[in-house]
Amino acid sequence: MKDKAMAFEDLWNQVVKVIREGRVSSRIIRTIYGDWIEIRLSSLGLAIWPHVSSNDLKFLNRLLAKILRDHGAIIKKSNGVRWVFIPLSSIPIDEKSTRRKLKKAAERRRVMVEEVWVWSW
């Protein structure tokens, strides 16, 4: 049982490493429920296990989904694609880069609001 828990912890450390290094395309989402990192589950699985066959990857992605859920992630399926929403607080990331990404997300939202609501004086 200890070996299994240790393997799960090693896998979580690999997930954090992949996200930190930016080997997977992701985006930060700000909601009233908190800040999340959105990643495609299949892309995350391929980044962790690049030389695995597709049948083995299906099993390993199920294992990865269980570990992500244990760390507070939410998995949703949209148009046949499984998306993982990982809480930003569960991943220790460089604060400077995180602030930059959150600022960009806020700027994008402000621009969208300004485009919708035209102010005429």
pLDDT computed for residue 17 by the predictor: 87
Question: Measured between alpha carbons, how far is 86 from 75 in angstroms, rounded to an integer?
Answer: 9
Dump strand ranges (E) for 32-69.
34-40
Structural domains of the chain in order of their starting residue, each with its CATH number: 2-116 (1.10.10)
pLDDT computed for residue 96 by the predictor: 64
Question: Measured between alpha carbons, how far is 65 from 75 in angstroms, rounded to an integer?
Answer: 8
The residue among 40, 16, 8 whose CA lies nearest residue 90 is: 16
pLDDT computed for residue 1 by the predictor: 45
Mean pLDDT, the chain, whole residue set: 79
pLDDT computed for residue 2 by the predictor: 52
Question: Measured between alpha carbons, how far is 86 from 64 in angstroms, rounded to an integer?
Answer: 12
Binning pLDDT at 50, 70 and 90, where does residue 102 land?
low
Task: Specify the higher pLDDT residue, 103 or 87.
Answer: 87
